[in-house]
Amino acid sequence: MNTTTIHSRAADPLPIERLAHYDPEVEQRVQQWLASGQLLAWIPILSQENFPDVPPEVLRFADRYQAAMRWPIQRPEDLLGLPEGITGWLLPASADDTDVACGVWNGEVYILGVRDKRTGRPQTLLGQRFDGATGQADDAEPSAV
């Protein structure tokens, strides 16, 4: 097991285990956010996968108010207080878009880059990812994460 440690302002550091689909760029970016002391936000991803018992039309309605659902993250330890089993977007509180998702499963925090299930291409909170090589934006209606 390859582990490293995030040093937080709290006395106890949080261990990190790198998984098979580990993305060093995402890890480095999130560690920089946490080390800077800036306020972060977690926004639940309103999808059938996260909320299987909620009708799709209700999720679409709630999605219009997603910006109001920001959960403040002041310290790395705050991530452990996120709702169990719900994936959400993680970003600096002052940012509008991100391609980083975060969730808690069995008491462990998982942070990952998000990819569209249909295309395999990176996906963002705002739903599009601009490809500098082709000059094209992804589909304005991404698949559920």
- Mean pLDDT of each 10-residue bin along the chain, 145 residues long: 38 58 84 94 91 92 88 94 94 94 92 83 74 42 44
Strand ranges in 9-96 using DSSP code E only, listed in sequence order: 14-17, 40-44, 71-73, 88-92
Say what the pLDDT of residue 20 is.
59
Alpha helices in 3-139 (DSSP H): 24-36, 56-63
Amino acid 2: pLDDT: 32
The structure tokens listed for 86 are 């719900």
* Model pLDDT, residue 14: 59
User: In this structure, are strands 136-137 and 130-131 parallel, antiparallel, or unpaired?
Assistant: antiparallel
| The pLDDT value given to residue 4 | 37
pLDDT value at residue 17: 64
Q: Which pLDDT does position 21 carry in this prediction? A: 65
Strands 71-73 and 40-44: antiparallel
The predicted structure's pLDDT at residue 9: 44
Question: What's residue 117's pLDDT?
Answer: 76
Cβ-based neighbours of 77, under 8 Å, separated by 6 or more: 8, 10, 12, 14
State whether the Cα torsion 129-117-61-90 is positive or negative: negative
Cα(8)–Cα(5) distance, rounded to whole angstroms? 9
